[in-house]
Amino acid sequence: MSTLSYFDPWLISYNQSVRNPVRRTENIGKKTQGKNSHREIVTASASRVLIGAQVPYFEYFIREVADGGKFTDYYADGSGVQQGEIRIIGGYRISPSNGHFVIDCDIEVFA
């Protein structure tokens, strides 16, 4: 199966945000806050360091294979290395750093 799991995991920075599915409504002064669903949206800014041929492999996978969809990958957050479904939100930026290439992007983590 096509995968990005050949690489070291995504490093998720600690500004990870979780939007719980709670809705607040107001009806003639009475405010109500309740849960709509058990789903939550988890997004985080992530980075990954690649080298050499890993860069074209990554770009082809994201743009032609995943094509904006979900894929299974490793990521490291405050709880250690996890494996799960993620999706890149929008695009990514690549910048060189001492012979390596740093990928920066926002990802959505699915439970």
Partner 1 sequence: MTFPAVDFTIQGYGWEFDPAYVRTEFASGNTRQRKLMRKNNDVFSCRHVFTDAEALTMETYINTTLDKGSLTDTMPYYISEVEFTGTGQILDGSYNIQMVNNDLWEFTYNIEIIDRDLTGEGNVYAVVNAYSGFDNAYNIFASLEDMVNNNTL
Question: In whole angstroms, what is the distance from residue 50 CA to residue 56 CA?
Answer: 10
Q: For the purposes of burial, counting CB atoms within 10 Å of the CB of 14, is it exposed (0-12), middle (13-18) or buried (19 or more)? A: exposed
When the beta carbons of 16 and 87 are compared against partner 1, the nearer one is 87
Q: Using an 8 Å Cβ cutoff, are 54 and 69 in contact?
A: no
Nearest approach, Cβ of 62 to partner 1 (angstroms)?
A: 8
Footprint of partner 1 (CB under 8 A)? 2, 6-7, 19, 21, 23, 36-37, 39, 41, 52-57, 59-65, 67-68, 87, 89-96, 101, 108, 110
When the beta carbons of 55 and 76 are compared against partner 1, the nearer one is 55
